[in-house]
């Protein structure tokens, strides 16, 4: 029985690996030279928008307001909607990095392609919520058409 390291490496495999390396280097070079940046891909136009304000109240409740009218849309109890709280932490971190006030509204948009985005217009940072799966996208997307709670 021969050991694995005693066998010669197949020449075809060497050619395939070398070809892959050369292709990768060429693709990166072309992307750099042409200025291609996948993070700046065109965003689908908005078909519906709502500016939202999120305010922590009480013992960890998160109040969600329509920023334009000031109407309370929903109050999220502590320990619930962890995804929304996580997204807000990300957006707040961006605001801190840009030295922008933390209390401004965020824009929730439904895009022509059916995706929801949450955008901070003060930092130009936005999150495509589809990337986090349909359940998390719907958790934030529901505020686009939410009505104020009945008193």
In angstroms, the CA 8 to CA 142 distance is 60
pLDDT value of position 73: 93
Task: Please tell me what DSSP assigns to residue 114.
Answer: S
Name the β-bridge partners of 63.
55, 75
Strand partners, 119: 107, 126
pTM for the complete prediction?
0.69
Q: Determine which helix (DSSP H) or strand (DSSP E) holds 96, and give its type and residue range.
A: helix 82-97
Mean pLDDT, 10 residues at a time, the chain of 151 residues: 62 83 83 65 83 91 93 90 90 92 92 91 89 91 80 57
**What pLDDT does residue 150 have?**
59
Torsional class of 60: left (φ above 0), alpha (ψ -120 to 50), beta (otherwise): left
Strand 61-66 relative to strand 116-120, pairing: unpaired
């Amino acid at each position: 029985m021969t050991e694995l390291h005693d066998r010669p490496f197949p020449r075809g495999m060497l050619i395939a690996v070398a070809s892959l390396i050369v292709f990768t280097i060429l693709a990166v070079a072309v992307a750099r030279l042409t200025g291609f940046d996948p993070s700046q891909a065109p965003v689908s136009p908005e078909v519906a928008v709502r500016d939202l304000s999120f305010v922590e109240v009480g013992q960890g409740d998160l109040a969600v307001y329509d920023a334009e009218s000031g109407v309370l849309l929903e109050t999220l109890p502590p320990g619930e909607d962890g995804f929304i709280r996580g997204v807000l932490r990300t957006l707040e971190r961006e605001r801190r990095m840009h030295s922008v006030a933390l209390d401004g509204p965020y824009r929730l948009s439904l895009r022509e392609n059916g995706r929801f985005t949450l955008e901070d217009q003060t930092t130009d940072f936005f999150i495509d919520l589809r990337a986090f799966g349909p359940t998390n996208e719907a958790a934030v997307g529901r505020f686009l058409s939410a009505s104020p709670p009945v008193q």
